[in-house]
Structure formats: C-alpha cells, structure tokens
C-alpha cells in the first residue's frame, strides 16, 4: 500500500519568512493533493498536481511535483499568521484505486 | 455555490449505540467519499459512493456502512459503537468518481463515544 511521509512534522517560523514542506511517496504519485486544516475542522483544498514537473501557485503558496512523481513540495513565501494550520498531502492510488491516502500532516505555526 | 455540509457537527454517544452521519455534497457533485481522522491514525479512507453505488472501500470493519441517495446525499452508519470510534468524520465530494477529480471536504462531524 502507498505511504506518504511528510517533513517536517512541525514547523515554527517568524512572520515574513519563507518555508517548505515536503511530501515523499513510497510509490509513483498519480494525483497529489495539498490541503490545509485548522485543528478539528474540515480540509481546505489548496492544489492538485498530476504531471511530473508540474508547478502550481496560488497567492503566496507554490506546490511542485518532481519529474519522477514520487515527491512534492509546498512552498510558502513571506508567511503570515493566516498560513498557520496543518498541511496535509494526499495521493491517489493509481488505476481504479483513486481513494486518497494522506500523510500525517505538518503543523505550521507562524509567530507575529 | 454552497460547500459540502455535514450534520450533525457534534455527537456524543455511548458504547454499543449506533449512529448515522449525513453529508450533502456540492451541488452537481456526484461522488462522495468518507474519511475518519484520529490523532493516532491520521486520515483514513472509509468508502466512496458514486451514483448510489459503493466504488471503493477502506479497511474498516463491517460495523461501518454507508449509502448514497439519488440526489447524491450520503449517509454513513456505525453500529455497536466502540470507544475507538471517537473521531472526526469527514466527507468529501467531487464531480465524478475516478482520479484527477478535486475533492472538497466538509467541516466534519466530531463523534465522541463514552
């Protein structure tokens, strides 16, 4: 079964700093999703990546899927307190198995 | 367009009872997936429904079941509740079943089993 490892598990940054969260898969990634979650609440969809080398940006958040499609990174530029939360990567299993498998999440704290 | 809604938001039950959770997908979305989130196991897939048919199922005991109605609304049921069933239950909707579909999540139902 596919496993996703996120690093770091937690991150504390000063407002205005850049940061990167990584998601590494044990298998080829067919569809990679990034979500943000406030503790105990639902997941907010950020981005979906499918093609090797694909890069998407939304506001100050950029996500990339590497060429070999086994790793994705999420980069936040000039972090703000509103970026704080838990970032989760989720991956489709490929073929007819398109349920999402999730990493354990990265807890981001942004200090003002 | 309204997002995914889940009811109830919070629920407290005792061991041995059963519970039914409801999910209304985004208008026009026909696929609904259910997930369980706990501190220890993280987010785990329960099942997916499309056009009233279960398309995928995760590794959960038969006490966990679900269904989808013709209007795409979905319910999940947990019978004979155990303490370990305490979790945040999330549903997600997408336009179609299959890969490459953006999945949008609801706010979740927080179930506490005493």
What is the reported pLDDT for A67? Answer: 79
Encode A69-99: b = buried (16+ Cβ within 10 Å), e = exposed: bbbbbbbbeebeeebbbbbbbbbbbeeeebb
Q: Which chain B positions have a beta carbon within 8 Å of A50's beta carbon? A: 100
The C-alpha atoms of residue B23 and residue B93 are separated, in whole angstroms, by: 9
What pLDDT was estimated at residue B65? 97
Q: What was the pLDDT predicted at B1? A: 67
pLDDT of residue A96: 62
Any idea how long chain A is? Answer: 112
> Using the beta-carbon criterion (under 8 Å), do A42 and B4 form an inter-chain contact?
yes
The fraction of chain A above a pLDDT of 90, given in percent, is 69
pLDDT level of residue A97 (50, 70, 90 thresholds): low
CB contacts, 8 Å: A40 with chain B: 88, 108, 110
CB pairs under 8 A between A and B: 58
**Per the CB < 8 Å rule, is B110 touching A41?**
no
Per residue in B49-81, pLDDT (tens digit) is 999 999 888 999 999 999 999 999 999 999 999
CB contact under 8 A, A45 and B33: no
**Tokens 């995928």 belong to residue:** B56
Closest residue in chain A to residue B107, using alpha carbons only: A42
Question: Could you give the CA distance from residue B3 to residue B102 in angstroms, rounded to a whole number?
Answer: 13
**Distance from the A102 Cα atom to the nearest Cα atom in chain B, whole angstroms:** 6
Q: Which of B48, B105, B110 sits opposite A99 (nearest CB)?
A: B48
Q: Provide the pLDDT confidence category of residue A99 given band limits of 50, 70 and 90.
A: confident
Which pLDDT score, from 0 to 100, does residue A73 have?
97
Tell me which residues of chain B, numbers 55 to 84, contact chain A at a CB-CB cutoff of 8 Å: 56, 58
∠ CA A77-A80-A85 to the nearest 5 degrees? 100
Do B99 and A40 count as a contact with CB atoms less than 8 A apart? no
Residue with tokens 């997408």: B94
């Amino acid at each position: 079964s596919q496993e996703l490892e996120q690093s770091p598990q937690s991150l504390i940054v000063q407002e205005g700093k850049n940061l990167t969260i990584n998601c590494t898969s044990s298998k080829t990634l067919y569809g990679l999703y990034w979500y943000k979650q406030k503790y105990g609440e639902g997941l907010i969809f950020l981005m979906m990546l499918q093609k090797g080398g694909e890069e998407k940006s939304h506001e100050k958040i950029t996500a990339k899927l590497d060429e070999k499609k086994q790793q994705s990174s999420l980069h936040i530029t000039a972090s703000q307190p509103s970026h704080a939360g838990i970032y989760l990567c989720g991956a489709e299993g490929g073929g007819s198995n398109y349920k999402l498998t999730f990493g354990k999440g990265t807890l981001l704290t942004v200090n003002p | 367009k309204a997002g995914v809604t889940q009811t109830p938001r919070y629920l407290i039950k005792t061991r041995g009872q059963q519970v039914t959770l409801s999910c209304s997908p985004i208008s026009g979305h026909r696929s609904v997936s259910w997930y369980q989130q706990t501190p220890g196991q993280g987010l785990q897939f329960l099942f997916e429904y499309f056009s009233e048919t279960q398309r995928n199922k995760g590794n959960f005991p038969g006490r966990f079941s679900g269904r989808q109605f013709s209007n795409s609304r979905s319910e999940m049921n947990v019978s004979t509740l155990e303490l370990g069933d305490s979790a945040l239950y999330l549903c997600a909707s997408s336009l179609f079943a299959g890969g490459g579909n953006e999945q949008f999540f609801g706010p979740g139902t927080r179930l506490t089993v005493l």
